Amino acid sequence: MTTYTTPRSSTAGTAVGRVHSVDAYRGLVMLLMLAEVLRSCDVASAIGDSPLWGFVCQEQSHVAWVGGSLHDLIQPGFYFLVGVGLVLSLRRRLADGQPLSKLLRHACVRSVVLIILGMALVAIHPRQWSWWFDDTLTQIGLAYPVLFVVALRPRRQWWAALAVILAGYWLWFVLYPVQSFSLQHPPPEVSVEWMRIHGLSGFSAHWQKNANAAWAFDRWFMNLFPRASPFEGNDNGLTTLNFIPSTGTMILGLLAGDILRSTRSDMAKIRWLCTVGALLMATGWVLGLLGVVPVVKAIWTPSWVLYSGGWCCVFLAAFYAVVDWNNNRRIVFPLTVVGLNSIVAYCLSHAFPALAFNSLRRVAGTRVFQLAGPAYEPALYGAAILVLYWLVLYALYRSRVFVRI
C-alpha cells in the first residue's frame, strides 16, 4: 500500500488525460457502501407502513438470492472499475517504457496486499483472525493476476477470455449433481422458511444456496484451515471461487476502459457504453428468465456478470456524459473526493461497527439524533457518521494525500 502526496500546484489526484468520470463513479460506489450507516431498514421497521422508507430499505439491502437491488450493484461496480483503472494505467505505463517484469511484479504484490488486507478487515468484527476469502478486496486480489495477464493480450482476446470464463463456470455448475436437499431437509445454514420462499428447483437447482459446485469446493477448501468448528457453508451463500466469474466483470471493465481511452468521439464512447450495457443487461436477465442460469449475485452466476456489468456500463456512460463530455466536474465533486481515496473509504466502512458508532454516541449523546422522533434516530445518527467519513476523506484530498495499492 502506497500513500501519494501530490504537489500543491497540481490538481489533486489528477493527471493529464485523466478520465474524471471514473473517479466520480468510483466515488458513488463507495458512497453507497458507506451509506449502509443510514440503517434505512431500521427506520422503515419503526415507522411501519411507509412506501418511501420501504423502497429505500429494499434498495439498501441485498436480495435474498435471485435478482438484484441498487445495493447489489456496489460490488460489481468496484470490480468493473478495477478493470477500467487497470487498462488506463497499464497502457500509460507501457507507453512510458516501464519493463513488463516490473509491471508483473507490481501486479503480484498488489494481489497479495489486497488478499491480506481484505482478510484483515473481515477479522475486525470478531477481533480475531479467521480464514475467509469472500471479502471484496480479497476477491479482487485473487482475480487480479489473471486480469493482468488478460489485459496484456490483444483486445479481441478479451472477449474470448470472457466467454471462456462464463461458459466454463456455467458448465462446471451444471455438471455438479443437484443435491437432494428439500424443504424438510434444507442445505447447511439455510432455514426451512428461506427454502420455501427463495429455494430453486428444476435445472436452476444447480445454483441452489449452499448446495452447488462452488459450495462443495469450499466444504473441502475452508476446512484445510484451522477453525473452531467444521465449515458447512456461509449463511449468505458466498463462496471463495466467486473470484473466477468476478474476473469476467473486471474484463468488462477492461473493455469499457479501452473505449474511454480510444480516439472515438465523446458521443461515440457514450453510445458504445449505453448500447453494450443494454445488451448485457438484457442478455443476463433473459438467461435467468429462460432458466439457463439464474441471476444470483451471491455466487456471481454468469447471468449476473452480464446483467450487473450492463448496469456498470450505463452508469459509466452517464458519468462520462456529465463529467468529461460536458466538463462539469463541480457537480460530482463530493463523489470525486470519495473516489480518489476509495481504499480508505472501504476501510472506513469496515471500521464503523467497531469504532464510529459507539464513539460518536458517547460524545454527542442520543437526544440530538431524536429531534425528528425516535423512529428516525438511526438515519440521523448514520447521516452524522457519513458526514464525518466524508470530512476525513476531504481532509486527505485537501492535503493531496491519496492511498493506492
Classify the phi-psi angles of 127: left when phi > 0, otherwise alpha if psi is within -120 to 50, otherwise beta: left
**CB neighbourhood size of 201 (10 A):** 9
Give the confidence band of 205 by pLDDT, cuts at 50, 70, 90. Answer: very high
- C-alpha grid cell, residue 392: 476525513
pLDDT of residue 398: 95
Average pLDDT over residues 150-178: 96
Q: In the structure grid, which three cell numbers stand for residue 88, read together?
A: 488506463
Does the structure show a pLDDT above 50 at 208? yes
b/e per residue 257-274 (b: at least 16 CB within 10 A): bbbbeeeeeeeebbebbb
Query: Does residue 66 register a pLDDT over 80?
Result: yes
- Inform me whether the pLDDT recorded for 225 exceeds 50: yes
In eight-state DSSP terms, residue 179 is: P
Cell numbers at 175, concatenated: 455438471
Q: What is the pLDDT of residue 11?
A: 35
Angle between helices 100-122 and 342-351 (to 10 degrees): 20
pTM: 0.92
Give me the torsion for CA of 152, 155, 160, 163, rounded to 10°.
100
Residue with cell 469450499: 218
Least trusted range by pLDDT, from 123-127, 162-166, 179-183, 225-229 = 123-127
Q: Is 2 helix (H, G, I), strand (E, B) or coil?
A: strand
Q: How much is the pLDDT for 9?
A: 35
**Which residues fall within 8 angstroms of residue 220, CB to CB, at 6 or more apart?**
none
Single-letter residue type at 100: L
Residue 123 pLDDT: 77
Which pLDDT band holds residue 181 (cuts at 50, 70, 90)? confident
Give the DSSP H or E segment for 55: helix 51-59
CB 266 within 8 A of CB 181: no
The total of other beta-carbon atoms located within 10 Å of residue 338's CB is 26
Nearest to 339 by CA among 390, 271, 277: 390
Whether the pLDDT of residue 365 is over 70: the answer is: no
pLDDT-derived band of residue 7, with 50, 70 and 90 as boundaries? very low
CA 146 – CA 42 distance, rounded (Å) = 41
Position 358 scores a pLDDT of 58
| Residue 364 CB neighbour total at 10 angstroms | 12
pLDDT beyond 90 at 52: yes
SS3 234: coil
pLDDT for the residue 359: 66
pLDDT given at position 155: 92
Share of the chain above pLDDT 90, in %: 73
| pLDDT for 280 | 98
pLDDT of residue 364: 66
Which DSSP string do the residues of 103-124 spell out, in sequence order?
HHHHHHHHHHHHHHHHHHHHTT
**Residues 6 or more apart whose Cβ sits within 8 Å of residue 264:** 272
Q: What is the pLDDT of residue 17?
A: 63
pLDDT of residue 228: 84
Task: Quick: pLDDT tens for 241-269.
Answer: 999 999 999 999 999 999 999 999 999 99
Residue 103: the pLDDT is: 92
Strand boundaries in 18-135, DSSP class E? none
Assigned C-alpha cell, 144: 487480479
What does the angle CA 352 – CA 355 – CA 360 come to, to the nearest 5 degrees? 95
The answer, yes or no, to whether residue 23 has pLDDT greater than 70, is yes
Q: For residue range 107-154, what is the model confidence (pLDDT) as tens digits?
A: 999 999 999 999 988 877 665 677 889 999 999 999 999 999 999 999
Q: In terms of pLDDT, which residue wins out, 186 or 370?
A: 186
- Closest C-alpha to 393, from 349, 334, 337: 337
User: Averaged over 154-175, what is the pLDDT?
Assistant: 97
- Which one, of 88, 141, 64, 57, lies nearest residue 262 by Cα? 88
Q: Tell me what pLDDT residue 13 has.
A: 36
Joined together, the cell numbers standing for residue 58 give 429494499
Higher pLDDT, 94 or 114: 114
Rounded Cα distance, 107 and 97, in Å: 17
pLDDT tens digits, 76-87: 999 999 999 999
Q: 304 pLDDT exceeds 50?
A: yes
